[in-house]
Amino acid sequence: GKIETQAAGAEVDGHRLDTPAFKVTGREKILVDGQPVRRPEATRLWRYHKPSGLVTTNRDPDGRPTIFEQLPKALPRVVTIGRLDLSTEGLLLLTNDGELARALELPGTGLERKYRARAYGRVRQEELDKLRDGIVYEGIEYRSIIATLDRAVGSNSWIDMTLIEGKKREARRALESLGLKVNRLIRVSYGPVEL
């Protein structure tokens, strides 16, 4: 026989629904159990300049400070688009739209993430150019990374890096594969959004 599904006390413009599937434009007056359903908030995006020393999680089991403790109290509930590790600073995107966050995190989007790295050690541009072909380091495969030597200061090298994949600790590990030790890492852009 026919099974009818009844939406629990749902009304659109005064008409009781007899199916849970009903197309709306957003201009209707929708009630569920007599209570109005609010329109979803408009999708918003914020730029946050994350300092070093904060973790990008809501709560940290080790009790370390989180970015969410530092955000303005007036900010609505937000999620991060990707993460930056504890000692990485720079651009972190925040949004009130979880679906947008998940979509922008995917490597398939092709969004470039640009970093500025200071690393202990000396390196030649020819060595950095090897990262363009992708590398396997400690059993993990990393796609093409464009790295440009900016300058050497004392025993450190400043390097500009462009990544597309966004794997965990990718920038640090790519430079480690060349014998460098990253001591400062700043994300300066994520796709078209700049710090």
> Alpha-carbon distance 51 to 194, whole Å?
16
- Which of 85, 129, 133, 150 is the catalytic position? 85
Longest dimension (CA), the chain: 81
Q: How far apart are CA 71 and CA 153, in angstroms?
A: 34
**DSSP H helical segments within 55-97, as ranges?**
67-70
| Residue 85 bears catalytic tag | yes
The 8-class DSSP code of residue 40 comes to P
- Return the structure tokens found at 101: 């966050």
Report whether 150 contacts 123 (CB < 8 A).
no
Helices (H), the chain: 67-70, 98-105, 125-129, 170-176
Question: Residues 169, 163: contact at Cβ < 8 Å?
Answer: no
Report the C-alpha gap between 139 and 64 in whole angstroms.
30
Contact 121, 153 (CB under 8 A): no
Give catalytic residue positions: 85
